[in-house]
Structure 1
Amino acid sequence: MAPTEKQIKASVKEGGKKGQDLAGMSDMGGVKFFAIALETPDGQWDLMDSVLEGMNKEVDPNADDRKGGAGHIGKCLLFANDKILQILCHVPDVVKDLINQQEWFTTVIESVGASKIGDAITIEGSGSGIVLKAEMKADPDAGKFPLKERDVASLKSFEYLVSKELVRPDESDDDANYAEMADIEW
């Protein structure tokens, strides 16, 4: 079933807001890679693409409400409901030399038993780069629950980024957690 115009608009809006949050955190701390839990895709790949579009959108300097601006940031987008876990890994050309995208993606999808969907996709414009996709369907008999596995995928993404020194490990509860304050899950 194709997404409705309302769903597409909500996904672009979520992407724009979270993109602005990511851009701000990147500017403050220099981090170029994030894993982000999403709310709007509803298991539909078109909506995952809409979130990415909203994140990568160039910021309109004249707009009252700034949105997007994360086209220069590597992202592992995670959506889960009771039926499916979707994983979209986007590494823009401007940061592709800092990370092995295939290795990052494989680490995340293997941690939850997700299957790659299609071939790598090249996107142009703001955030030009490569997109990889995977999904894991719920299998209660095998103990596979997408919402639980999203947390595993997020943790494995973070651990991979720490191992490559692309993010700093959590060192203390006293430090400000900017991702948590911006409602972004690692």
Structure 2
Amino acid sequence: MSRRQSEYDLWCSCAAPKKEAAPKKEAAAKKEKDAAAKKEAAPKKDAAPKKESGKKEDKKKDKDGSKDKDEAKEPTPEEIEKAKKDKLKKVIKEGGKRGVEIEGAADMGGLQFFCTSVDMPEGDLELTVKCVEAMNAKSDPSEEERKGGSGHIGKMVFSVGVEHLAVVAYVPTEKTKELSCEEWLAHVLGTQGGKVETKGKELCTGTVKTNADKGVFPLKIREPMILEANNYLRKKGLFPEDNDDDDDECVFGDDDFPA
């Protein structure tokens, strides 16, 4: 073979197109097309449901992670103690004012005993006792506003609560021979199925529990019990006979005789 023939053969082999390049390129393009088709055909996964509770919790929390200010917070021991002191202050104030009223009405009508109701204790037996003690406290002449002063007058005091009616009976030492504090209270409570809670020569306490099945409600039974307390005193000659002019003087307190 001549030199020129060899050079010609070499040139032909270099210039000829590569037959495999095109098929390989087409195969790669087909593979990409198939992959794209499979991706489109595959079902889309549902988005995970958002937790609503988490959002609500987040709304209830501020930057520090504490609950929203609008949400009620449990009172601290200090707040509870303050609320008790404020309540007691109001109870004593009502008792002191009522004591002055009782003293004036008793002196005017010559009464030895008095029956009334109070609001602030709201059926709390212990607070009702505090209220009675404020009624009986000696008046301080130096005070601008008189308080108490009815310690020489026997009394039965009623306070309406949700769960029960609180009743406190008080008989001064000088009148215990004429009237038994315990017997007086037990009789009045017995008219409504009540119970004597504490006994004493001068002071006794009792309650009448609310009983919806029997129609026993503190606000409903308060009036008839006050009247019964007065009637018990009348039988012993310790209270004026009933007449049309005496009713308002016998009982003091809001809604003692509701229309």
What TM-score does the superposition give when structure 1 sets the normalisation length?
0.85
Alignment gaps of 5+ in structure 2: 1-79
Name the amino acid aligned to 2:205. K
Instruction: Identify which of 107, 111, 130 aligns with 1:27.
Output: 107
Q: List per-residue Cα deviations over 1:94-139 (Å, max 9, x = no partner).
A: 2222223232112111011111113x24xxxxxxx62111111111
Per-residue deviation, 1:177: 3.8
Picking from 196, 219, 229, the partner of 1:116 is 196
What is the percent sequence identity of the aligned residues? 31
Distance in 1 separating the partners of 2:220 and 2:244: 25
Cα 1:27/1:35, change in 2 over 3 Å: same
Match among 147, 150, 166 for residue 70 of structure 1: 150
**2 CA distance for matches of 1:32 and 1:54?**
18
In the superposition, relative to structure 1, how do residues 176 and 77 fare at CA in structure 2: closer, same or farther (>3 Å)?
closer
Using the TM superposition, give the Cα deviation of residue 183 of structure 1 relative to its aligned residue in structure 2, in angstroms: 4.2
Q: Does the CA contact (< 8 Å) of 2:169 and 2:205 recur in 1? A: yes
Residues 165 and 142 of structure 1: is their aligned pair in 2 closer, same or farther, counting only changes over 3 Å?
A: same
1:117-169 CA distances to partner (integer Å, 9 max, x unpaired)? 13x24xxxxxxx62111111111012111111111210110111111121112
Residue 152 of structure 1 aligns with which residue? 224
Q: What residue is the counterpart of 2:135 in the other structure?
A: 55
What is the CA distance between 1:172 and its match in structure 2? Answer: 3.1
SS, match of residue 112 in structure 1: coil
- Relative to its length, the structure with more helix (as a share) is 2
- Deviation at 1:85? 0.5
- Where do 5+ consecutive residues of structure 1 fail to align? 122-128
Task: Decide whether aligned partners of structure 1 residues 142 and 9 sit closer, same or farther in structure 2, where only a CA change above 3 A counts.
Answer: same
Query: Which structure ranks higher in relative contact order (CA pairs < 8 Å, sequence separation ≥ 6)?
Result: 1
Counterpart in 1 of 2:47?
Answer: none
**1:176 Cα deviation from its structure 2 partner:** 8.5
Indicate conservation of the 8 Å contact 2:167/2:206, yes or no: yes
Give how far 1:71 is off. 0.8
Conserved 8 A contact 2:106-2:114? no
Deviation at 1:70, TM superposition (A): 0.9
Q: Does 1:178 align with 2:258?
A: no
Q: Tell me which amino acid in the other structure corresponds to 2:219.
A: L
> Residues of 2 paired with 1:78 and 1:92: CA distance?
18
RMSD between superposed Cα atoms in Å: 2.2
The equivalent of 1:13 in structure 2 is 93
In the alignment, the residues of structure 2 paired with residue 172 and residue 26 of structure 1 have an alpha-carbon distance, to the nearest angstrom, of 18
Q: Which one-letter code corresponds to 1:41 in the other structure? A: P
* Cα distance between partner residues in 2 of 1:38 and 1:84: 14
